[in-house]
Amino acid sequence: MPCESHFPNFPITKLLNYQILYVAYPLLTVSEESAGGAEQMLWTLDREVSGLGVATTVAASAGSRVSGELFSTGAPCIQPDDFERRNREHQEKVIEFVRTRARQGRPFDLLHDQSGSFWPRAAEVDAPVLATLHLPRHFYPAHSFEHVPANVGFNCVSASQARDFADLKSMLGVIPNGILLERFLTNGVLRSDVPKNGLLWLGRICEEKGTHLALDIASRAGLNITIAGQVYPFTYHQQYFEKEIAPRLRKMPNATFIASPSAQQKCRLLKEARAVLITSMVNETSSLVAMEAAASGTAVIAFRQGALPEIVQNGTTGFLVDGVDDAVQALNKVEQIKPAVCIEHAKENFSSKTMSQRYARLYGQLRQSQPQTEILTA
């Protein structure tokens, strides 16, 4: 259900004169090494859209590394539980930046909010705002959707997520996430003959992602496992790591922890793993890790949550399971998953170029449609 199904085709070349501002999640930096899915998706989309020749700017924390211009809104959080202050600082600077550009005669044609929290203030800027919803609905404050500014349109990143937002009149549709397939190339091709060993869990380390369950699965199966990811500066995330992850790592000689792996490390780990475990305890709206595993020719063992059945082809690119016991059993069937089939599936379904082309068409329609309320009821 791509968003462009709501609109006639829009020539992407018309975007070449556009000025687009991406609004990032303010907590940490945006780069190729980002752990959060929203930050990774923004980094990839900015790379693709700017590569089309469109003028893009990313409003993000200082130190971010993006393809377009960077507008720094302040230092990323270092102290725990500093998000509310940082988010206010971030939003105020974005609003002032947009107004300053307009006064200078260089207004933005569109704002694409990937922060999850800027769009309620969209009435304070004179431009269409597209807000991509990356989270399950219950993660957002309920009042966020009660008085949506007239210049805001939403999109979801999966069909399962969109069902929970079906009542929003300003919902434009679904554009699935994509990944930069080139990152997984070896000498210009996606290789399927890489030797594989052990398990991998990759991502943001917190309770909702079920990192501890991945360690339990590896322990039960008697297999090596690598936990590679980042603990965000929230007290409850750090407490979770100290209570549930650190003790398991100490007890498991076959477990390795890699903090904040580089992009190169992540690619290597994904290619060399026998299987990637995705043990989320909430309804995932997407899974870049599952997409990257497929592009690496690596099987995925994923809990049957949210959008994961849309990404993992059960029995073809991995197995969907219903808990730890089921996951342990599924590991006995991993050899049934053919790396070449996984790679071909990724090439056909997870390309960031396809994602960016869909967004580019939507950008054009958002900017051209007047008044904005006509967009929201389309």
- pLDDT tens-place string over residues 271-281: 999 999 999 99
Amino acid 16: pLDDT: 81
Closest CA to 229 of 217, 240, 221, 216: 240
CA separation for the pair 333, 294 (Å, rounded): 16
Are residues 219 and 127 located together in one domain of the fold?
no
Are residues 171 and 269 located together in one domain of the fold?
no
Amino acid 187: pLDDT: 59
Write the pLDDT tens digit of every residue in 330-377: 999 999 999 999 999 999 999 999 999 999 989 988 877 644 433 332
CA separation for the pair 339, 21 (Å, rounded): 38
Are residues 129 and 261 located together in one domain of the fold?
no
Closest CA to 219 of 321, 324, 290: 324
Closest CA to 210 of 269, 278, 259: 278
Residue 19: CB partners within 8 Å, gap ≥ 6?
A: 55, 57, 101, 106, 107, 108, 109
CATH number at residue 331: 3.40.50.2000
Give how many domains the chain has, as a whole number: 2
Are residues 294 and 327 located together in one domain of the fold?
yes
Full-prediction pTM beyond 0.85? yes
- Average pLDDT value over all residues in the chain: 92
CA separation for the pair 14, 144 (Å, rounded): 33
- 242 burial type by CB count under 10 A (0-12 exposed, 13-18 middle, 19+ buried): exposed
Are residues 17 and 162 located together in one domain of the fold?
yes
Amino acid 142: pLDDT: 87
Q: What b/e sequence results for 135-156 when a residue is b if at least 16 CB atoms lie within 10 Å of its CB, and e otherwise?
A: bbbeeeeeeebeebbebbbbbb
Residue with tokens 């203030």: 121
Are residues 57 and 164 located together in one domain of the fold?
yes
Are residues 19 and 54 located together in one domain of the fold?
yes
Write the pLDDT tens digit of every residue in 89-112: 999 999 999 999 999 999 999 999
Domain of residue 207, residue span = 181-349
Closest CA to 297 of 137, 186, 371: 186
Are residues 89 and 114 located together in one domain of the fold?
yes
Residue 79: CB partners within 8 Å, gap ≥ 6?
A: 233
Amino acid 173: pLDDT: 92
Are residues 132 and 207 located together in one domain of the fold?
no
Q: Which band of pLDDT confidence, cut at 50, 70 and 90, is reported for residue 17?
A: confident
Are residues 60 and 159 located together in one domain of the fold?
yes
